[in-house]
Amino acid sequence: MGIWWAIETVTTVGYGDIVPDQTVGKVIAAFLMLGGLSLLAVVTAAETSGFVSRAQTRGRIDGDDAVVKKIEELTTELHAVRAELHRLRSGNDSNGPA
């Protein structure tokens, strides 16, 4: 009885005038309610995925992709660090051992 109440409440079906009397009927109804809720979640996720995909495609076309910009910034910084490291190593080699 408690599981039926929980599933009925979570799926927002509510307390109708017609409720299955037998356990088998309640189990079938519970699967139908949870299946309907799952279907709604899958459809919503698919639509959201489509919106995100279109936005990412537009960002790549326009050159406004934040991830690509950040990677380019990090690459530039890495090259600067490598150049400084090379400069420091070559400076130490010419001075001899420390």
pLDDT tens figures, 77-95: 999 999 999 999 998 655 5
Q: Which residue type does 57 have?
A: T
Does a structural domain hold residue 96?
A: yes
Does a structural domain hold residue 77?
A: yes
Q: For residue range 23-36, what is the model confidence (pLDDT) as tens digits?
A: 898 888 888 888 88
Does a structural domain hold residue 9?
A: no
- Please report the pLDDT score of residue 15 as a whole number: 64
Does a structural domain hold residue 72?
A: yes
pTM across the whole model:
0.47
Does a structural domain hold residue 41?
A: no
The CA angle 67-71-75, to the nearest 5 degrees, is 170
Note the Cα 63 to chain centre separation in Å: 22
Does a structural domain hold residue 52?
A: no
- Number of domains within the chain: 1
How many of the other CB atoms lie within 10 Å of CB of 1?
7
Does a structural domain hold residue 95?
A: yes
Does a structural domain hold residue 8?
A: no
Q: Which residue type does 62 have?
A: D
> Domain containing 93: what range?
65-98
